[in-house]
Amino acid sequence: MTIRTEFPCRVIETEDMGIVLPDGCRLSARVWMPEDAAANPVPAVLEYIPYRKRDGTLPRDEMMHPYVAGHGYACVRVDMRGNGESEGLMLDEYSQQEMDDAVAVIDWLSRQPWCTGAVGMMGKSWGGFNCLQAAYNQPAALKAVISVCATTDRFADDIHFKGGCLLGENFGWGAVMLSYSSRPADPVLRPDWRADWLARLEAEPWLTPRWAAHQARDGYWDHGSVDVDFSRMTIPAMIWGGWADNYMTTVDKLLRGMPGVCKGVVGPWVHQYPHTAVPGPQVGFLQMAVRWWDRWLKGETNGAEDDPALRAYVVESEAPDASIAYRQGAWVAEAEWPSENVTERVLWLQASQAGVSHPRTPVGYLSQDEGAGFSVKVATPQHLGMRTGEFFPMGLNAEMPGDQAADDALSVCFDLEPLAEPLQLLGCASLRLQVASDQPLGFVVARLCDVGPDGQSVRIAHGMLNLCHRDGMRTPAPMVPEQVVEVTVPIDMTGYRLAVGHRLRVAISNSYWPFVWPSPAAGVLTLTGGSLTLPVHSGGAAWTPPPSEHATPWRHRVVRPARAARRIEEDMLTGTVALIVESDEGAQENLDHGLISDESLTERWEIHPDDPLSARAVHVWEQARSRGDWHIRTRAEAEMTASATHLRMTARLTAWEGETQVFSRAWDEEVPRDLV
């Protein structure tokens, strides 16, 4: 990784440029641009997110935006309405107000004397979402986007209801936003910070119940989901994903669905920008971004539109490691996607003869030949899934999937014979099952695993389906007990090469805690047949990415070092099993403006193996900001439990100025369970 300090253009910075929206609300922008942009206008590149440019994303901002600006762009990092130093209130994610504001900001940028009129938009996660949403809305000045770690489907492919299953992250992210949005503006930039802060706190929404109440894909989720009408996606888009993230399938969906120019890149990464993300190898994301902007914002004929449709890092078999820093593998490039180099291979689920399993395989095997039907029960304990990792892991604190062998031992597994030659996969697998349920509600989870000769198991990819959504995400219906139906479980996109001597495994469960909130009753599924369809890759052209580069990192002093822990606890008296996550980000002082940021989190996800209604999640977030005699602190406490009929979500938000409590509010809300 190279730190660049010299660029073609000398860059100047404005730490607080005001963008006044049509309704009079002032958004705060941090802007980097060439010093001569007033005389020689440049295109603008917008990043528009709620995560606070003054402290939240500042470390990554300072490595990215000056770099791009140094190549002849005005890079504009905007805090969304109600966040950071921006005025107004934010009441939900991806609201119409947020989308309208984005269009207004793009228009405003295009009309500045230092801008040529051409605007690009980039972002990761929330920023990646609103890049796609802005492209969908087609503002005249928006010429191209770069979206990292985002989705086209806010219901079934986001943190809320993956495959129609209620995710634990629906609760977790609600707790995150309760904490994140509780922080005030910096008094240095907002003299009215206190009145503004109290207004934000009074208006603060507890979003988890709102999200949980929409348990099928309806208009609430259609809003902001660009797959509602892919034909509107005509603005050129570069889409990035990571195999260790849970948004990797977006690359496949947009490459297949977009009529406009679309290029996809997927690496081994977690939920971070690819020039700094782990596991390595990192790539020159910023050089590739500049080339993209040069083509679409400056009109240079550099051939970016002729680049391969998909560039993917195919990882190789190695031991499981939830904190792996580097993945072995190789980059491949596919000129078109879907690719003729990918063929479907169907493997049939077979029960082991005479009830005898393969070594370490509880039930059966995978065969090239369709065999006779069978009857296999799936009734997995509720604590299965403790080592599955985060929905979007951010780093190396054991947030990626660990050894799956313990969960495999609790699952129903079907194995392929040890490989006599490598098996390379690129694309999305799917699992077709004939299944009956003894309960009207339930879900099924499929994990595709690489099992080494020593029995260690690496999760290649996973997928899940709420069985009530077997006929679509919009029209759930209860299962008829003991009635066999055919369902298809989509499995996330992967790029993976299994080594000789390893076995491919599909592990099936009807529990997955805490990734999926459990069904109201511990049901039993009966499998009577099925098949696994694999995207077998015969090998494309090699690709060599540019090396990772970035601008000078931020200047800071560590006031208190960061600390993290992640452990599984079992209460030997009650039998309860809990996943404990502790993440103290420490305290750091920004040496340019003196603001000290302090943040910590504790999570507890507990459940009894025999009782789905024992599921309980508790999160506590602490935030503090200080400078000299000024000091504020907030504490967000959230808890989720459930009965057979309702989901209950409580929260409390408390704020202090110095030692004086200035705000406290509690929420206690129940949402009826509607086929989850």
DSSP per-residue string spanning 474-493: SS-----TT--EEEEEEEEE
Our CA angle for 354, 355, 359, nearest 5°, is: 115
pLDDT for 362 equals 53
CA–CA gap between residue 246 and residue 266 (Å, rounded): 12
pLDDT tens digits, 192-250:
999 999 999 999 999 999 999 999 999 999 999 999 999 999 999 999 999 999 999 99
Residue 615, number of CB atoms within 10 A of its CB: 20
Q: How much is the average pLDDT of 640-666?
A: 98
Cα dihedral 521, 526, 531, 537 sign: positive
Say yes or no to pLDDT of 359 above 60.
no
Residue 125 vs residues 130, 158, 292, 417, 459: alpha-carbon distances, Å: 9, 10, 19, 39, 23
What backbone torsions phi and psi does residue 347 show, to the nearest 5 degrees?
Answer: -115, 135
pLDDT grade, residue 360 (50/70/90)? very low
pLDDT tens digits, 410-441:
999 999 999 999 999 999 999 999 999 999 99
pLDDT for 355 equals 41
Tokens 């039907």 correspond to 373
CA–CA gap between residue 43 and residue 122 (Å, rounded): 13
> What is the C-alpha radius of gyration for the chain, rounded to an integer number of angstroms?
25
pLDDT tens digits, 469-508:
999 999 999 999 999 999 999 999 999 999 999 999 999 9
pLDDT tens digits, 303-327:
999 999 999 999 999 999 999 999 9
pLDDT tens digits, 118-159:
999 999 999 999 999 999 999 999 999 999 999 999 999 999
Which contiguous run of DSSP H or E holds residue 556? strand 556-560
Determine what percent of the chain is predicted with pLDDT higher than 70.
99
Task: Enumerate residues 6+ apart whose C-beta is below 8 A from 139.
Answer: 103, 106, 107, 119
Say yes or no to pLDDT of 373 above 90.
no
Q: How much is the average pLDDT of 378-386?
A: 98
Residue 377, number of CB atoms within 10 A of its CB: 12
Structure tokens at 86: 């921006």
**Average of per-residue pLDDT values in the chain:** 96
pLDDT tens digits, 60-72:
999 999 999 999 9
Interhelix angle for 58-69 vs 285-296, to 10°?
A: 50
Q: What is the DSSP string of 19-34?
A: EE-TTSPEEEEEEEEE
Q: What is the DSSP string of 524-546?
A: -EEEEEEEEEEEEE---EE--PP
Cα dihedral 111, 115, 118, 120 sign: negative
329 bridge partner residues = 315
CA–CA gap between residue 115 and residue 120 (Å, rounded): 11
CA nearest 377: which of 416, 412, 415?
412
pLDDT tens digits, 267-304:
999 999 999 999 999 999 999 999 999 999 999 999 99
The amino acid at residue 86 is S
Cα dihedral 152, 155, 158, 164 sign: negative
pLDDT for 104 equals 98
Task: Enumerate residues 6+ apart whose C-beta is below 8 A from 398.
Answer: 322, 323, 389, 566
Q: How much is the average pLDDT of 657-664?
A: 98
Say yes or no to pLDDT of 116 above 90.
yes
pLDDT for 358 equals 41
Residue 167, number of CB atoms within 10 A of its CB: 23
CA–CA gap between residue 155 and residue 164 (Å, rounded): 7
Could you tell me if 452 and 502 are in contact, meaning their C-beta atoms sit under 8 angstroms apart?
A: yes
Kindly report whether the global pTM for this prediction surpasses the value 0.85.
yes
* Cα Dmax for the chain: 82
Could you tell me if 272 and 243 are in contact, meaning their C-beta atoms sit under 8 angstroms apart?
A: no
User: Is residue 173 helix, strand or coil?
Assistant: helix
CA–CA gap between residue 266 and residue 252 (Å, rounded): 10
pLDDT for 353 equals 56
Task: Say how far residue 256 (Cα) sits from the centre of its chain.
Answer: 20
pLDDT grade, residue 663 (50/70/90)? very high
Determine what percent of the chain is predicted with pLDDT higher than 90.
97
CA–CA gap between residue 110 and residue 41 (Å, rounded): 10
| b/e code 316-330 from CB counts within 10 Å (16+ = b) | ebbebbbebeebebe
Could you tell me if 578 and 549 are in contact, meaning their C-beta atoms sit under 8 angstroms apart?
A: no
CA–CA gap between residue 134 and residue 131 (Å, rounded): 5
